Amino acid sequence: MKIWIALILATLAVSAYAQCGCDTMKWATCDGTPCVCHLMVGNGTKQVLDCNKLIPKCFLMQGEMYRGRKGLSTRTGIGGKPDETAFVDNDGIYDPDCEADGTFKAKQCNNTDTCWCVNSAGVRRTDKGDMTLKCDELVMTYWVRLELKHKPTTGKVNPANLKAAIADAIHKRYKNFNKDMIKEVQYDPDARLLIVDVQQPKGERKSDLTHMAYYMEKDVKVLPLLKSQEPFVPQVGDQKLEMENILVYYVDEKAPTFTMQHLSGGIIAVIVVVAVAVVAGLLVLFFARKRHNKYNKAQQREMDNM
């Protein structure tokens, strides 16, 4: 009897020890009883993590910037806009300021004098300004569109099963992500394009949707953030969809306030083309004139000789 109890206690201890890890963050370090996990973030502080959930994107970005600075590896281990106000992240990663609960501060400066306002996904939604820039509130992203391109499959993908299969795969992989938020799945078999619209009710203050989108972005573009390095491969019927690319569109509760800055490249190109054309035209005129004058002078001389 005693032996049995001792054995059971021993296995419990071993499994408790084995479980001191962080499923949702491969760079986390965990120790102690009870098990506590943390992530090194900007300026070398330890951020305590709740590994029963997806880790807030703001902490993940801080962790990635920290690893980048330390020279640690960050790798280890249809289509179009959903809405006219939708936008993509053209800036990439920066070192964000986070609230204690992991939400982004509305104003971000990346440790520089240049600041901008972000949405709840930490993506810039205004022009860049100086440190006096005001961001009144953190505007929620309530809709993300995931444009996933998958690799060629061995057989046909049955579009009838698609939405349920994708919702299921997302639910299982990303900590029981709420399937009801997956509103629509469109599919273009020729382009191998899968478009997944994920929405939360307007006015919702949680950011599960943006965390999930970030985990998926890393799953497809780099390597999983999850401790388990198994790739994200949704199964639809008998077909496995291995992903090769992802583009994320963000739709915020309020439209972003970018000005025409993103058009300036196009405008500059037009100005350059017009300028070149004008200069070329002037050169042609100039040489034509010169030739004409020479001809006239030659004629004049001939006349004089006569």
Ligand X SMILES: *[C@@H]1O[C@H](CO)[C@@H](O)[C@H](O)[C@H]1NC(C)=O
Identify the residue whose tokens are 């900590």: 175
Q: For residues 127 and 171, is the Cβ–Cβ distance under 8 A?
A: no
Considering only CA atoms, which of 306, 212, 227 is closest in space to residue 19? 227
Report, in Å, the least distance between residue 115 CB and ligand X. 10
For ligand X, the closer CB: 94 or 177: 94
Cα–Cα distance measured from residue 25 to residue 66, given in angstroms and rounded to the nearest whole number:
15
Binding residue for ligand X (CB under 6 A) from 94, 142, 215, 232?
94
Position 5: which residue type?
I
Cα–Cα distance measured from residue 101 to residue 47, given in angstroms and rounded to the nearest whole number:
10
Across 76-221, the runs of DSSP E, i.e. the strands, are 107-108, 116-117, 141-150, 182-188, 193-199
Report, in Å, the least distance between residue 95 CB and ligand X. 6
Report, in Å, the least distance between residue 37 CB and ligand X. 27
Count of residues that bind ligand X according to CB under 6 A: 3
Q: Is 204 in the site for ligand X (CB under 6 A)?
A: no
For ligand X, the closer CB: 58 or 165: 58
Q: Is 127 in the site for ligand X (CB under 6 A)?
A: no
Identify the residue whose tokens are 């000005």: 259
For ligand X, the closer CB: 69 or 206: 69
Q: Is 91 in the site for ligand X (CB under 6 A)?
A: yes
Report, in Å, the least distance between residue 262 CB and ligand X. 15
For ligand X, the closer CB: 17 or 258: 258
Q: Is 50 helix (H, G, I), strand (E, B) or coil?
A: coil
Tell me whether the omega of the peptide bond preceding residue 34 falls within 30 degrees of 0, making it cis. yes
Report, in Å, the least distance between residue 77 CB and ligand X. 23
Report, in Å, the least distance between residue 108 CB and ligand X. 8
Report, in Å, the least distance between residue 94 CB and ligand X. 4
Position 75: which residue type?
R
Q: Give the torsion sign (CA, 87, 203, 214, 67).
A: positive
For ligand X, the closer CB: 34 or 265: 265
The two structure tokens encoding residue 161 = 């099963």
Report, in Å, the least distance between residue 87 CB and ligand X. 14
Binding residue for ligand X (CB under 6 A) from 74, 110, 153, 161?
110
Considering only CA atoms, which of 269, 215, 217 is closest in space to residue 88? 217
Q: For residues 195 and 147, is the Cβ–Cβ distance under 8 A?
A: yes
Report, in Å, the least distance between residue 109 CB and ligand X. 9
Considering only CA atoms, which of 42, 1, 64 is closest in space to residue 214? 64
For ligand X, the closer CB: 109 or 225: 109
For ligand X, the closer CB: 83 or 91: 91
Q: Is 35 exposed, middle or buried (0-12, 13-18, 19+ CB in 10 A)?
A: middle
Restricting to residues 239-298, name those near ligand X by CB under 6 A.
Answer: none
For ligand X, the closer CB: 110 or 178: 110
Provide the phi-psi class of 12: left if phi over 0, else alpha when psi is between -120 and 50, else beta.
Answer: alpha
For ligand X, the closer CB: 85 or 110: 110
Q: In the complex, which residues of this chain contact ligand X (CB under 6 A)?
A: 91, 94, 110
